C-alpha cells in the first residue's frame, strides 16, 4: 500500500537564466550613464559612447510593474555592456542574455 507522502511543495524550482546583476552607475543630467562600476572592478570605468537606447514598460497591472530604460554602452577598454535603469526602484543593473 502506497500512502500519501504529504511532501511539502518545493520552491524555486526553475532558475531563470540571465538574471540582472546590480551595478553602480553615475548618470548624467538626462539619465544617461557616464561611468559604471561593477563589483569586480577596482574603479569605475568611463562610458565612451551610447550605441543604443530603448525602454520597456510591462506588467503595469501587477504589484511590481516593470519600467526599464536600457542602454547599450561602449566602455573603456573596448567593452560593450548592456545595462538598464530600473525606474520602479531607481537602481541600475547589467543585463545579460
Partner 1 sequence: MPGLPAGWPDVTVCCVWLPLLPLRVAVLQHPEWDGLPLVLGGAPGERKVVQCCSPEAERAGLQPGLPLREVLARCADAVVVQPDPEAEAMALKQVIEGLQLVSPDVEVQSEHLYVNLRGLRALHHGELALLDRALRAAVPLMLQPRIGMAGNKFTARAAAEAAAPRGTQVVPAGDTVGFLAALPVALLPLSTATLQRMDVLGLRTIGELAALPFSAVQAEFGKAGARAWRLAHGQDDEPVLPYQVKPTVAAGITLDDPLSSIEGFHTALRMVLGRAFGDPSLHNRSVRRVRLSAQLSTGASWEQLLVFKGALMGRDAVFRALKDKLEVPNALPPAPFETLAAELTDLGAETGKQPSIFAKNVQQEQQLAEATRQLQTRYQTPPVYHAVEVEPWSRIPERRWALMPFDP
Report in angstroms how near the CB of residue 53 gets to partner 1 at its nearest.
Answer: 15
Are the beta carbons of 71 and 33 closer than 8 angstroms?
yes
Write down the least CB distance from residue 42 to partner 1, Å: 28
What is the nearest approach in angstroms of partner 1 to the Cβ of residue 93? Answer: 10
Q: Compare residues 48 and 56 and give the one whose CB is closer to partner 1.
A: 56
Site for partner 1, rule CB under 8 A: 1-7, 9-20, 56, 58, 62, 66, 95-97
For 70, what's the count of Cα atoms within 13 Å in the CB-facing half-sphere?
Answer: 14
Distance CA 14, CA 64 (A): 20
74: CB partners within 8 A, 6+ apart: 47, 48, 49, 50, 51, 80
For partner 1, the closer of residues 48 and 66 by Cβ is 66
Between residues 43 and 80, which has the closer beta carbon with respect to partner 1? 80
Min dist. Cβ of residue 46 to partner 1 (A): 25
**How many Å apart are CA 24 and CA 38, to the nearest integer?**
7
Amino acid at each position: 500500500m502506497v500512502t500519501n507522502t504529504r511532501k511539502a511543495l518545493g520552491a524555486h524550482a526553475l532558475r531563470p537564466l540571465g538574471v540582472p546583476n546590480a551595478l553602480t552607475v553615475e548618470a548624467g543630467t538626462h539619465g544617461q550613464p557616464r561611468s559604471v562600476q561593477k563589483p569586480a572592478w577596482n574603479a569605475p570605468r568611463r562610458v565612451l559612447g551610447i550605441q543604443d537606447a530603448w525602454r520597456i514598460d510591462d506588467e503595469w497591472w501587477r504589484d511590481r510593474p516593470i519600467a526599464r530604460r536600457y542602454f547599450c554602452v561602449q566602455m573603456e577598454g573596448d567593452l560593450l555592456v548592456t545595462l538598464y535603469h530600473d525606474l520602479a526602484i531607481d537602481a541600475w543593473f547589467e543585463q545579460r542574455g
